[in-house]
Chains A and B, each alone.
Chain A
Amino acid sequence: MITLTHFLVVSACLFCIGLYAVLAKRNAIMILVGIEFIINAAILNLVAFGRYDKINYGGQVFALFAIVLAAAAVAVGLAIILNVYRKYKSINPDNITDLRD
């Protein structure tokens, strides 16, 4: 039987993959993908915990909201990446170090 723990483990795995992608990828698109993984891990948790909610489908609704928001956020992120590419001719985050001292 599939318990909450299984969902959480999957969710944790997703989160870890996402974190890895965010920290280690040399491509801004892949980092964005990593961020999506993390969001999806959170959404999966929302859905999984929604089962124990007193109000029905509260978790699912939140998940839908989050998906929509993530989609919007991806659009913004892609726009930023596009602008970054225009300025630096590169989307490798290692090359974009304007924040350093």
Chain B
Amino acid sequence: MMNLSPIVASLLVVILPFLAFLIQAMLGRRSQQGTISLLAILLSCLISATMVFPKIWNQDTQHQALTWFSIGTKDFQIGFLLNNLTSLMQLIVCLVALPVHIYSRAYMKGDPGIHRYWMYLSLFCFAMLLLTMADNLLLMYIAWELVGFASYLLIGFWFHKESAVQANKKAFIINRIGDLGFLLGIASLYSIYGTLNLVDLFGEHGFLNTVPPDSSGWMTFAGCCFFLGAMAKSAQFPLHVWLPDAMEGPTSVSSLIHAATMVAAGVFLLSTVFPLFNTTVLLIIAIIGCITAFIAAYFALAQQDIKRILAFSTISQLGFMMVAIGIGAWDAAMFHLVTHAFFKCLLFLAAGAIIHEMAHLKAKHQLDFDPQDIHNMGGLRKYMPKTFILMAIASLALAGFPLTSGFLSKDAILINALEWGMQQGGLWLLIPIALIIVSFMTAFYIGRLMFKVFFGKLRINVENPGIHEAPGQMLGPMVFLGICSLFVVFSLNPLSYQQAFVLKGFEFDRDYTELHILHTVVPLLMSIGSILIWIWAYRWYAQGEAGGSFDKLRMTESKLRMTFPLLQLSLNQGYLNEFYQKAFVNSTVQFSNGLYWFDRHIIDGLVNLAGSLVRAISRISAWTDRYIVDGLVNTIAGSTYYLGHLLRWVQNGRLQNYLGFAFTVLLIGIIYLIFK
């Protein structure tokens, strides 16, 4: 293989999916296999893994830029910045996108709009890769918007479904709020430092290091704006509502959005601009992250849709990452982002395989049930053992069980948070404690999902259900992701996160002291707690009466919800959607109606009034013109005509008349002479 410089190689990495997008767009229906997109992402992946990542990781930062355009005397540059953070992110995006592409070939087979699917998927990958490598905030913003747009297209991929249209509209509108924040952040940063180049801002001799900002208020504002951007993209409370609805898209898309692209963008952005944040902003980030983690885990407890449970778990994990950033441990956030990317992608792909089979069952026996409702599943372990094992690995990773990647990253966040909380003391200890509770909740809801789906017996009563293992093209990517969810990929020591290569790559001095005791106590506590919770959940869901038939299960759950209104609240996602509907959507609609009325009656009324006034005036002037001016002219013309007509009669060509006139005149002359 050729030896390219990392910059050129990463240019290729970015360009290839874009080319695939263009070619797919031109070919349209003629290309349904997705070979072009797959080939592009495969090449990107290979180039990134062989020529970019090994040459950048733990080595010198590389930066290359061209002048893009000039405004006045200011030059704006476009270029790539390659350092540990960006090269890691680039690799992760490629590594997660590749299995999703392979999986989609089997999963999306036969969809009438498949050619669009490949096009959007390539565009999505291109936008995300561009985002990871942009060397300035403006380019990053462009990529950011492209990511939002591509996700809009993908969420609404089945646009003939009303719910999908609503969902992509919702995602787009909520992301616009975040985009506004990002843009305001860029603007305020530019007004303070006069540049948007990341190297100029955060580099070794960057402005942030050399020039202490005298305007801390501005910095707080800018930081909050960037966080607002990240809040929308990374689905933080209260802007998280779009993510559960985004489940309307194809499952493979959900996995991509949830794992490495869309939602990771917010965390990545915050890690990139991390030096910008002062303590106030960091505290806000930590608090919001904590609330998000808790609320989302709580909402996940009672959901019935398999994809929605996973969506809320994503939101919850993103909350974890935000807390990590807020306490200053952005390396832990990135680590969790990376591990989460793999196991969450796997969870979604496995869920996709299950939904696929359930939908087949539904179609085969012509039954009417929701293929995504976990109450209809059960006992799938017997039919899909490989999927079960893979999903179990991913679930263990999500819950933070030892030997998995999630164990390392989650412990990193928890221990950092505890250390930080100890240092701060007082009420701030609530944040790490909340995180620990959320971790237990995570263990519970993912346990509930696993036990309901894979244990007990199938709750759809049919003879010979015909559910079988997913095809190899779907299973292969899942196996790859399953391996990536294990500890060996990140650290040789399965119990100590500090050995993880990702964290070592981001080493920096922390503000708080390390407490060694925590490194043994916390993992032990978490593991034991999780196991206890799983035993409880297993008894409850897999063995007890709830493990039986569908009706019984449904009855038990509804009885439970009657007794505990909190569970009802959880199922309905805290009525947040209804609240937003009432507070924002309805008020906006009413406001618009008001404006419509104003437009209709006042503005239009004024215009119409002016119009009719002008018409009245013109009518008067028309009347004047017709009867006075024209009348005058017509009178003159008419009288002239009449006079002419009178005289004209004389010229009738009759000689006798002429003679008669002549004699008459002569006679008059004579008479006149006589009587003079």
Cβ of A23 and Cβ of B652 under 8 Å apart?
A: no
Closest Cβ of chain B to A32, distance in Å, is 13
Taking CB atoms and an 8 Å cut-off, the chain A residues in 18-64 that contact chain B are: 19, 22-25, 31
Cβ of B656 and Cβ of A23 under 8 Å apart?
A: yes
Question: Per a CB cutoff under 8 Å, which of A24, A98, A100 touches B656?
Answer: A24
Closest Cβ of chain A to B240, distance in Å, is 99
Closest Cβ of chain A to B177, distance in Å, is 89
Q: A23-B660, A23-B663 are in contact. Are A101 and B654 (CB under 8 A)?
A: no
Question: Per a CB cutoff under 8 Å, which of B648, B652, B660, B663 touches A97?
Answer: B652
B655 within 8 A of A: yes
- Distance, CA A97 to CA B658, complexed state (A): 11
Cβ of A19 and Cβ of B663 under 8 Å apart?
A: yes
- Please give me the residue from chain B that is nearest to A19 by CB atom: B663
- Please give me the residue from chain B that is nearest to A26 by CB atom: B656
Cβ of A101 and Cβ of B655 under 8 Å apart?
A: no
CB contacts (< 8 Å) of B671 on chain A: these are: none
Closest Cβ of chain A to B646, distance in Å, is 13
- Residues of A in contact, count (CB < 8 Å): 14
Cβ of B651 and Cβ of A22 under 8 Å apart?
A: no
- Distance, CA A24 to CA B655, complexed state (A): 11
CB contacts (< 8 Å) of A99 on chain B: these are: 651, 653, 655, 658
- Distance, CA A94 to CA B648, complexed state (A): 17
Closest Cβ of chain B to A101, distance in Å, is 4
- Please give me the residue from chain A that is nearest to B655 by CB atom: A93
- Distance, CA A19 to CA B660, complexed state (A): 9
- Distance, CA A24 to CA B656, complexed state (A): 7
Identify which of A19, A25, A31, A93 gathers the most chain B CB atoms within 10 Å of its CB. Answer: A93
CB contacts (< 8 Å) of B651 on chain A: these are: 99-101
Question: Per a CB cutoff under 8 Å, which of A19, A22, A25, A94 touches B654?
Answer: A94
B659 within 8 A of A: yes
Closest Cβ of chain A to B130, distance in Å, is 91
- Distance, CA A99 to CA B656, complexed state (A): 12
Question: Per a CB cutoff under 8 Å, which of B648, B656, B663 touches A93?
Answer: B656
CB contacts (< 8 Å) of B659 on chain A: these are: 22-23
Taking CB atoms and an 8 Å cut-off, the chain A residues in 50-101 that contact chain B are: 93-94, 96-101
CB contacts (< 8 Å) of A22 on chain B: these are: 656, 659
- Distance, CA A94 to CA B658, complexed state (A): 12
CB contacts (< 8 Å) of A98 on chain B: these are: 653
Closest Cβ of chain A to B665, distance in Å, is 13
- 11 CB contacts below 8 A, A to B, read A23-B659, A23-B660, A24-B656, A96-B655, A97-B652, A97-B653, A99-B651, A99-B653, A99-B658, A100-B651, A101-B651
Give 10 closest A-B pairs by Cβ, nearest first.
A100-B653, A97-B653, A99-B653, A101-B651, A23-B660, A100-B652, A23-B656, A100-B651, A93-B656, A93-B655
